[in-house]
């Protein structure tokens, strides 16, 4: 029955409606997510925020993001893609709108709202990618699901446009409405603090729920696995715009599947490949959160002028996402991923080295950031959909949620790593000196190199494979015991290694990737990495706070455990498995 999707040569109008819902949802929700960068530029001085308080506001969404994708991914496998999508949209829009009621100076209230926003944004992305993939054919799944991510930078663009040009008009209009309703105090507050009207606009994505309810059906793949065959037939018929009676039901109905979240850990290869490619967002997202403040600080412009500069970055990022969506199918996931990661890393690094260079009055720092946005943001049109492809159908939502959640640690470790490099606890605006900016931008570039290495060494190619073929290929890589321990401990240890040295994760994650292809060699490298971390930390462990020192020690221990577990895997594996699944 689902083979009808593979016989399609072009998308129907109804399939475009599904793609439109996913694309619009991502755009509006990331508009909500990036609003905080513009809001912070307006309130940081008026509220006399400290670096720590500003950092807490920025990083709150990054703290909750991994848990949001995990929860909504699991929910999508349990109650369905469509319902989970609606709940995620409401989560983000209501939390953003609530920020408009922040008492003056109540930065902790903003932290709480941003925590809830981060929880929903990653959840929505995890769900709509999965939904779109299950309505697509193998020959266009890469570019059509990548297309749904192309408008994510448009959310930042919309926030930039409003921040640069429209805030006074929106504030005036909302203030007039409040005055007409007799809420004079609210009207006065909106006129005095324009940023409140900016976040009030964040309620608009809630209207998208009506669109989803009207036009988006449940995934036929999910319905079939739940034994709801007739509903699956109707869903597929609606998408393909054909009579349900013309779709022949399978002679043998698939068994009803009840999966457990813990089954994800039978696929350590998918965990490692998904997490390492997902972490490529670390540098780009951290740069986006910091961008307005960065332009104000380095280019000596006002917040509205900085917002205008972000518009050019956002336009470049949108163009890059269209390009990368295309090369995902044209070149294949692995080749496209390697290419985009390497180019993005190069421009990111150059931005740091050229931060004070001007050619013809044009800042090369700004030019490099715009060019980096083309491939750096475009890269996620490959990575995002790919993280959902590397899982069996029954675990696609949960698997996507897991690896995308780990990838979203970048929203925290990106700014945090930059602060460590700057040698201070300033998570928002570290001193703009060459000593801080050059290694800082190299640190951002590091995460793209980690992704390129993962694509090259262990990422399976999924271009042109049906969902059924991917299921069969993934079943060959089920593992237990020591391989799972190595994957989980290696990834957590690699993230914590940043506390010892900002560039330590590159070595640790490279070793983690090698453990998948060559367990014994990778295990030895992991043990050497743990020794190196101890050496690097000897001079600084005593200077750590108790919490940071404890986490650093745990990270070192986990890296060592991962190495030992990988060596045990290598010694107990009689025949080495191919690093790439067979291409059908």
pLDDT tens, position by position, 32-42: 666 776 677 67
Domains detected in the chain: 3-216+261-457 (1.20.1250.20), 479-572 (no CATH)
The structure's pTM equals 0.77
DSSP code per residue over 202-240: GGGGGGHHHHHHHH-PPPHHHHHHTT-HHHHHHHHHHHH
In the prediction, which pLDDT does 579 show?
43
pLDDT mean over 196-211: 72
User: If DSSP states are collapsed to H, E and C, what string results for 138-184?
Assistant: CCCHHHHHHHCCCCHHHHHHHHHHHHHHHHHHHHHHHHHHHHHCCCH
pLDDT mean over 249-267: 72
Average pLDDT, whole number, for the chain?
A: 79
Judge whether 133 and 141 are in contact, CB under 8 Å. Answer: yes
Better-scored residue on pLDDT, 393 or 169 = 393
Considering Cα of 582, then 392, then 406, then 89, what sign does the dihedral take?
positive
Asked whether the predicted pLDDT for residue 437 surpasses 50, the reply is yes
Asked whether the predicted pLDDT for residue 327 surpasses 50, the reply is yes
Express each pLDDT in 209-245 by its tens digit: 777 777 788 888 888 888 888 888 888 888 888 888 8
Express each pLDDT in 314-324 by its tens digit: 889 889 988 99
Better-scored residue on pLDDT, 584 or 185 = 185
In the prediction, which pLDDT does 584 show?
44
Express each pLDDT in 363-392 by its tens digit: 898 999 999 999 998 898 898 888 888 888
Express each pLDDT in 554-576 by its tens digit: 888 999 998 898 898 888 765 44
Rounded CA-CA distance 468/503 in Å is 40
Top-confidence range, 43-52, 434-443, 466-475, 503-512? 503-512
pLDDT mean over 2-26: 79
Asked whether the predicted pLDDT for residue 184 surpasses 90, the reply is no
pLDDT mean over 124-135: 84
In the prediction, which pLDDT does 435 show?
64
Could you tell me the pLDDT band of residue 272, with boundaries at 50, 70 and 90? Answer: confident
Rounded CA-CA distance 554/565 in Å is 16
Rounded CA-CA distance 135/239 in Å is 8
Better-scored residue on pLDDT, 184 or 91 = 91
In the prediction, which pLDDT does 168 show?
60
Could you tell me the pLDDT band of residue 459, with boundaries at 50, 70 and 90? Answer: confident
Rounded CA-CA distance 257/358 in Å is 61
Three-class secondary structure of residue 409 per DSSP: coil
Could you tell me the pLDDT band of residue 581, with boundaries at 50, 70 and 90? Answer: very low
In the prediction, which pLDDT does 215 show?
78
In the prediction, which pLDDT does 582 show?
45
Instruction: Fill in the DSSP letter of residue 362.
Output: E
In the prediction, which pLDDT does 371 show?
94
Asked whether the predicted pLDDT for residue 208 surpasses 50, the reply is yes
Q: What angle do CA 224, 230, 233 make, to 5 degrees?
A: 75
**Percent above pLDDT 70 for the chain:** 81
Asked whether the predicted pLDDT for residue 284 surpasses 90, the reply is no
In the prediction, which pLDDT does 356 show?
81
Joined tokens for residue 122: 């990653």
Rounded CA-CA distance 37/34 in Å is 6
pLDDT mean over 297-320: 83
The residues, ordered by sequence, that sit 6+ positions from 275 with a Cβ below 8 Å of its Cβ are: 403, 406, 407, 491
């Amino acid at each position: 029955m689902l083979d009808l999707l593979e016989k399609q040569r072009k998308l129907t109008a109804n399939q475009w409606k599904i793609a439109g819902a996913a694309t619009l949802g991502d755009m509006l929700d990331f508009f909500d997510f990036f609003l905080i960068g513009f809001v912070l530029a307006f309130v940081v001085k008026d509220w006399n925020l400290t670096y720590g308080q500003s950092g807490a506001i920025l990083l709150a969404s990054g703290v909750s993001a991994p848990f949001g994708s995990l929860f909504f991914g699991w929910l999508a496998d349990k109650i369905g893609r469509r319902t989970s999508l609606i709940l995620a949209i409401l989560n983000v829009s209501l939390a953003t709108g609530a920020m408009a009621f922040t008492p003056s100076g109540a930065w902790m209230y903003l932290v709480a709202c941003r925590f809830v926003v981060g929880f929903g944004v990653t959840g929505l992305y995890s769900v709509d990618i999965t939904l779109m993939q299950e309505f697509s054919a193998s020959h266009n799944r890469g570019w059509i699901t990548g297309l749904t991510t192309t408008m994510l930078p448009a959310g930042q663009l919309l926030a930039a446009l409003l921040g640069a040009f429209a805030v006074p008009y929106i504030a005036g209009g909302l203030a007039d409405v409040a005055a007409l309703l007799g809420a004079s105090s609210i009207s006065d507050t909106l006129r005095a603090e324009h940023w409140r009207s900016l976040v009030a606009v964040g309620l608009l994505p809630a209207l998208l729920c009506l669109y989803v309810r009207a036009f988006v059906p449940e995934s036929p793949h999910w319905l079939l696995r739940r034994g709801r065959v007739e509903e699956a037939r109707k869903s597929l018929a609606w998408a393909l715009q054909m009579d349900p009676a013309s779709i022949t039901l399978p002679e043998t109905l698939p068994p009803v599947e009840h999966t457990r979240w813990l089954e994800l850990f039978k696929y350590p290869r998918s965990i490692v490949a998904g997490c390492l490619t997902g972490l490529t967002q670390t540098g780009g997202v951290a740069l986006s959160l910091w961008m307005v403040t960065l332009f104000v600080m380095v280019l000596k412009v006002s917040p509205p002028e900085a917002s205008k500069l972000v518009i050019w970055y956002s336009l470049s990022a949108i163009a890059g996402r269209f390009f990368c969506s295309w090369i995902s199918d044209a070149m294949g996931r692995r080749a496209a991923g390697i290419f985009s990661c390497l180019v993005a890393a190069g421009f990111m690094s150059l931005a740091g080295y050229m931060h004070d260079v001007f050619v013809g009055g044009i800042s090369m720092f700004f030019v490099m950031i715009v060019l980096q946005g083309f491939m750096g943001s475009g890269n996620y049109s490959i990575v995002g959909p790919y993280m959902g492809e590397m899982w069996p159908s029954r675990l696609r939502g949960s698997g996507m949620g897991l690896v995308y959640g780990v990838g979203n640690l970048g929203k925290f470790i990106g700014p945090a790593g930059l602060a460590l490099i700057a040698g201070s606890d300033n998570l928002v605006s570290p001193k703009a000196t060459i000593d801080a900016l050059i290694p800082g931008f190299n640190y951002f570039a590091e995460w793209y190199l980690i992704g390129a290495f993962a694509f090259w060494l262990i990422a399976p190619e999924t271009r042109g494979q049906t969902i059924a073929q991917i299921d069969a290929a993934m079943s060959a890589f089920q593992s237990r015991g020591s391989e799972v321990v190595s994957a989980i401990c290696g990834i957590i240890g690699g993230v914590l290694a940043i506390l010892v040295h900002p560039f330590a994760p590159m070595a640790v994650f490279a070793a983690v990737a090698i453990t998948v292809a060559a367990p014994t060699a990778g295990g030895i490298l992991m043990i050497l990495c743990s020794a190196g971390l101890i050496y690097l930390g000897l001079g600084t462990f005593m200077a750590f706070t108790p919490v940071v020192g404890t986490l650093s020690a745990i990270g070192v221990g986990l890296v060592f455990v991962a190495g030992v577990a990988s060596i045990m895997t290598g010694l107990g594996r009689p025949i080495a498995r191919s690093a790439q699944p067979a291409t059908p």
